[in-house]
Amino acid sequence: MSESFAGDWLDLREPFDARARHAGLAHALAEALPPRPHLVDLGAGTGSLLRWLGPLLGRSQFWTLVDADAALLGRAFATIEERAVLTGWTTTWPRRDTLLVHTPDGVWRVEAKVADLAADAAALPLDKADAVVCSAFCDLVSRRWVENMAASLRVPFYAALNVDGRERFLPAHPVDRLVARGFLRDQARDKGFGGRALGPAAPKALRSAFTARGFAVMQAPSPWVVGAGLPAMADALAEGHAGAALAALPRAAHPLLRRWEDARRDQARRGRLGVRVGHTDLLALPPRGTAHS
Per-residue pLDDT tens, the chain, 293 aa: give them: 344 458 899 999 999 999 999 999 999 999 999 999 999 999 999 999 999 999 999 999 999 999 999 999 999 999 999 999 999 999 999 999 999 999 999 999 999 999 999 987 778 889 899 999 999 999 999 999 999 999 999 999 999 999 999 999 999 999 999 999 999 999 999 999 989 999 999 999 999 999 999 999 999 999 999 999 999 999 999 999 999 999 999 999 999 999 999 999 999 999 999 999 999 999 999 998 665 54
| Distance set, CA 263 to CA 197, 214, 242, 286 (Å) | 29, 49, 11, 48
The angle subtended at Cα 135 by Cα 133 and Cα 138, nearest 5°, is 90
Domain architecture of the chain: domains with CATH: 7-165+195-223+279-285 (3.40.50.150)
* C-alpha to C-alpha distance for 141 and 145, rounded to whole angstroms: 6
What pLDDT is recorded for position 140? 96
- Read off the pTM: 0.94
- pLDDT confidence of residue 120: 76
